[in-house]
Amino acid sequence: MSWLKDLKETYEIYKERDPAIRSYWDVLLYPCYHALKSYRKAHKLWTQGHFFRARLISQRAARKTGIEIHPGAVIGKGLFIDHGTGVVIGETTIIGDNVTLYQGVTLGGTGKEKGKRHPTLKDGVMVSAGAKLLGSFTVGENSKIGAGSVVLDAVPPNCTVVGVPGRVVRRANRAVPRSDMDQMHLPDPVLDDLHTLQRENSELVNRVLSLEAEMKEIRKKEEKQ
């Protein structure tokens, strides 16, 4: 593939998921573009057994772009890393096609595993800013990870995960479009729990007041007798 053709294809991928891009040449300003070009070179060397040279390329790219991608990771087509600063992708990470990562995302390990130590992200996954996915598990197709979440367990397809630790708060049987990159309007399980507690507390208070009123009536009747 020619350099210009690759640039145009990359532009179409970025344009779909970032309204800030305006021309083919804007692609050259994205740290993601340069980080992935370096990753492809490093990954090829890694698979050939040239481990030091591969790590050298990846570490130089990390210093230049703020995006650290281990050359041993396996990455599919159409990965988009928006902004990118602070993104870390571990050695045994597997990323499918058309995945989107935002700044500050970590695809790391727990430090207690051997072999496959890092997450697997299936096609169409979106991981919002600052989220941490730690361990060897799979995030299913078209799932969304909310900003700042810490995910430690597998996520089924077409789900939304938020919180620390992360938990599934929305599950659907339909695919989520890749163009739906809304990081703002995600469910808040803690707030939902607080609302539930407030509602139950109000019901209990009303019940206690009702019982007190009944007891007063009973006492009045007993006094009259």
Instruction: At 139, give phi and psi (nearest 5°).
Output: -105, 120
DSSP-derived pairing of the beta strands 167-171 and 159-162: antiparallel
Percent of the chain surpassing pLDDT 70: 91
Place of tokens 């928006």: 82
CB atoms within 10 A of CB 61: 23
| Nearest-angstrom CA–CA distance, 33 and 10 | 8
Amino acid sitting at position 225: Q
pLDDT band at 14 (very low <50, low <70, confident <90, very high): confident
**pLDDT tens per residue, range 72-129:** 999 999 999 998 899 999 999 999 999 999 999 999 998 777 889 999 999 999 999 9
Token pair for 220: 């009045």
Dihedral over Cα of 53, 59, 62, 63: its sign: negative
Helix boundaries (H) for the chain: 3-17, 31-47, 51-65, 189-224
